[in-house]
């Protein structure tokens, strides 16, 4: 089952508290997840901590699932960081700013596990 | 044991200057008044990984070298580059920014700040329409209606509301939170929205519609408003506009929800016009919630030294500025730079994949106290002292008030300022040699 969502990214206190500790597991826990509304969780058949594959026209990334009652249905949130940036839009619309919010994405449950920070970045060196 | 009072927290743009720090044997052992982010900054630095030594990538691996070797390798990269991107410089002092601009001029580089992925559109909006603003002290003393639009200070600027806005008590706002109306406009019910008197949930990417509708109502054209705007019922939009018009002093604090969503700088542009309209009825101002503690300082220093706040291209021998062309991400996506220097910021973590892919292909020099995703794609890594803890310097708060950061403990690491100076001297030496 795949669902279509509108993907945004942003800051969280945990992500911020690990901004200078990005090699720690705490940073991975703070950033490698995707928040969805409880109804979207149900539509996906996901449970807290399931792996989700998030795909956009710019790439795909595997992150953990989190439910957030504050999210309206159809809106997905990934904290800012390298996991979010694997799938966000590089297009700046000619004003310098990439598309960090409002990217159409597809989400499905997967058996794959999210990559840790170093493994994720290693893919860029090998590309 | 030395207790330092009124230390400045060098984390976010709130730049809280009331931190009490206890230092024992050159270690920070106690911290008072800081939020979760500040606590992690001051105390966490002794627990986090540091970049322990300068490094150069050899056969795919970063290997330890001396400062001199790292500076020489970095200078060679810069001297041989035809198109260098210099990026970041926002978690550091204004003195370092000044040196970085000099280095960019010397090497004909493009220099850009983290505003490129943050409040860059706010700078463009200010250039289009102006930015009617005030100090945070004015807000604390006067604002009776406070809007947080597309920002979430509970998470990103945790002490902002207590020190400067919703909960603070000032000269004409002695009742504090009870005497202020707090409104949140956002696309999801954030922890900040949960504290608001009124939460206006809009459809993602439709900020411009709501700002435009508010302007219409404030200017007496309520009749043109459709039944819903940005997903918000007309009655709610009218109520919001009336609240703004009838306030004594309005401040709209805005964040990435405004600058990164569809319409980007046009959102800030329209908001500036709304503020201007409101000033026909009452007093109103706007302030961007700046992220890195000295991204505002970068804009200040760059503007007084080059005439432009960011995305400054020195390739022609004089400063040239066109953010959609000379912005860090536009350059990388066009695969234009053949080398990059990234300092006091983390492009590896915070740029979209296409930009990071190009960075991974070119020589990258990193200057930072901490290892991060940029380290993983860097070729020369130069560790720096932590400004505001191990080095002093000047930073600008989000309302463009300058504050002096203190040095609290000694460090074995060179400061950003020293590294930039050494690097510039080495580049000049290499160029003269050539």
- The CA distance from B424 to B98, in Å, is 12
A24 touches chain B (CB under 8 A): yes
Indicate which CATH number applies to the domain containing A82. Answer: 2.40.40.20
Helix (H, G, I), strand (E, B) or coil at B156: helix
- Determine the structural domain holding residue A23 and report its residue range: 2-126
Helix (H, G, I), strand (E, B) or coil at A94: coil
pTM of the predicted model, to two decimals?
0.97
The pLDDT of residue A126 is 87
The pLDDT of residue B49 is 87
- What are the pLDDT digits (tens) for A15-27? 999 999 999 999 9
What is the helix, strand, coil percentage profile of chain A, to 5?
25, 35, 40
- What are the pLDDT digits (tens) for A105-124? 999 999 999 999 999 999 99
The pLDDT of residue B44 is 76
Query: Nearest Cβ partner of B260 from A72, A86, A101?
Result: A101
Neighbours of A15 (CB within 10 A): 24
pLDDT higher than 70, residue A55: yes
Query: Nearest Cβ partner of B360 from A69, A80, A127?
Result: A127
- The CA distance from B403 to B396, in Å, is 6
Distance from CA of A109 to the nearest CA of B (A): 22
Nearest to B355 by CA among B382, B374, B379: B374
Q: What does chain B come to in residues?
A: 434
Q: What are phi and psi of B87, to 5 degrees?
A: -130, 145
Residue B380 CA, distance from chain mean position: 25
- The CA distance from B45 to B10, in Å, is 12
Give me the number of domains chain A comprises.
1
With 0-12 / 13-18 / 19 or more C-beta atoms within 10 angstroms meaning exposed / middle / buried, residue B324 is: middle
The pLDDT of residue B434 is 56
- The CA distance from B377 to B361, in Å, is 8
pLDDT higher than 70, residue A68: yes
Phi and psi based region of residue B8 (left: phi greater than 0; alpha: psi -120 to 50; beta: remaining): beta
Mark out the alpha helices in A9-95 (DSSP H runs).
13-17, 25-31, 38-44, 82-85
- The CA distance from B405 to B4, in Å, is 12
pLDDT higher than 90, residue A44: yes
- The CA distance from B158 to B432, in Å, is 50
Mean pLDDT by 10 residues, chain B (434 residues): 93 97 94 95 79 97 98 98 98 98 98 96 94 97 98 98 98 97 98 98 98 98 97 98 98 97 95 97 98 97 98 97 97 98 98 98 98 98 97 98 97 97 97 76
Question: Is residue B116 within 8 Å of B140, Cβ to Cβ?
Answer: no
- The CA distance from B172 to B361, in Å, is 57
- The CA distance from B381 to B122, in Å, is 32
The pLDDT of residue A31 is 98
Residue of B nearest to A21 (CA): B48
Nearest to B352 by CA among A116, A21, A86: A86
Domains of chain B: 51-116+293-389+411-433 (3.40.50.740), 120-288 (3.40.228.10)
- What are the pLDDT digits (tens) for B55-67? 999 999 999 999 9
Angle at which helix B295-306 crosses helix B94-107, to 10 degrees, equals: 50
B92 touches chain A (CB under 8 A): no
A93 touches chain B (CB under 8 A): yes
Question: How high is the mean pLDDT of chain B?
Answer: 96
Helix (H, G, I), strand (E, B) or coil at A53: strand
């Amino acid at each position: 089952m795949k669902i279509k969502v509108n993907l945004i990214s942003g800051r969280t206190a945990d992500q911020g508290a690990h901004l200078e500790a990005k090699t720690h597991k705490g940073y991975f826990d703070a950033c490698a997840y995707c928040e969805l509304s409880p109804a979207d969780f149900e539509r996906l058949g996901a449970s807290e901590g399931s792996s989700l594959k998030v795909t956009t026209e710019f790439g795909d990334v595997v992150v953990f699932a989190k439910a957030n009652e504050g999210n309206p249905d159809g809106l997905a949130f990934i904290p800012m960081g390298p996991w979010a940036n694997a799938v966000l839009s590089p297009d700046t619309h000619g004003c310098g700013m990439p598309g960090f919010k409002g990217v159409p994405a597809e989400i499905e449950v997967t058996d794959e596990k999210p990559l840790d920070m170093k493994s994720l970045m290693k893919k860029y060196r090998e590309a | 044991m030395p207790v330092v009072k009124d230390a400045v927290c060098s984390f976010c743009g709130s730049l809280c200057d009331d931190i009490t720090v206890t230092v024992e044997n050159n270690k920070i052992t106690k911290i008072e008044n800081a939020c979760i982010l500040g606590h992690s900054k001051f105390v966490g630095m002794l627990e986090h990984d540091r970049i322990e030594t300068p490094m150069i990538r050899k056969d795919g691996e970063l290997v330890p070298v001396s400062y001199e070797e790292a500076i020489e390798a970095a200078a060679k990269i810069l001297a041989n580059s035809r198109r260098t991107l210099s990026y970041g410089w926002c978690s550091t002092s204004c003195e370092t920014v000044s040196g970085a601009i000099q280095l960019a001029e010397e090497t004909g580089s493009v220099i850009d700040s983290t505003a490129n992925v943050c409040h860059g559109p706010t700078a463009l909006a200010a250039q289009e329409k102006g930015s009617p603003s005030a100090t945070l002290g004015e807000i604390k003393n006067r604002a009776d209606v406070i809007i947080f639009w597309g920002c979430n200070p509970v998470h990103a600027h945790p002490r902002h509301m207590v020190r400067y806005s919703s909960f603070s008590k000032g000269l004409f706002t002695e009742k504090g939170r009870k005497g202020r109306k707090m409104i949140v406009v956002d696309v999801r019910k954030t922890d900040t929205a949960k504290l608001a008197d009124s939460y206006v949930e809009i459809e993602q990417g439709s900020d411009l519609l709501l700002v435009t509708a508010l302007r219409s109502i404030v200017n007496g054209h309520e009749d043109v408003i459709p039944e819903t705007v940005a997903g918000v019922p007309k009655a709610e939009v009218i109520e919001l506009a009336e609240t703004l018009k009838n306030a004594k002093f309005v401040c709209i604090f805005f964040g990435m929800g405004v600058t990164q969503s569809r319409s980007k700088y046009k959102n800030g542009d329209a908001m500036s016009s709304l503020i201007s309209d409101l000033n026909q009825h009452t007093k109103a101002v706007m302030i961007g919630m700046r992220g890195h503690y000295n991204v505002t300082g970068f804009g200040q220093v760059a503007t007084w030294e080059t005439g432009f706040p960011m995305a400054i291209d020195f390739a022609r021998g004089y400063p040239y500025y066109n953010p959609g062309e000379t912005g860090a991400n536009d350059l990388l996506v066009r695969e234009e730079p053949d080398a990059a220097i990234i300092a006091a910021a983390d492009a590896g973590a915070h740029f979209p994949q296409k930009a990071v892919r190009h960075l991974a292909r070119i020589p990258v020099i990193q200057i930072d106290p901490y290892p991060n995703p940029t380290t993983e794609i860097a070729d020369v890594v130069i560790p720096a002292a932590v400004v505001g803890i191990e080095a002093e310097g000047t930073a600008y708060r989000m309302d463009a008030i300058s504050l002096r950061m203190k040095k609290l403990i000694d460090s074995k690491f060179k400061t950003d300022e020293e590294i930039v100076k050494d690097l510039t001297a080495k580049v000049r030496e290499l160029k003269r040699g050539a």
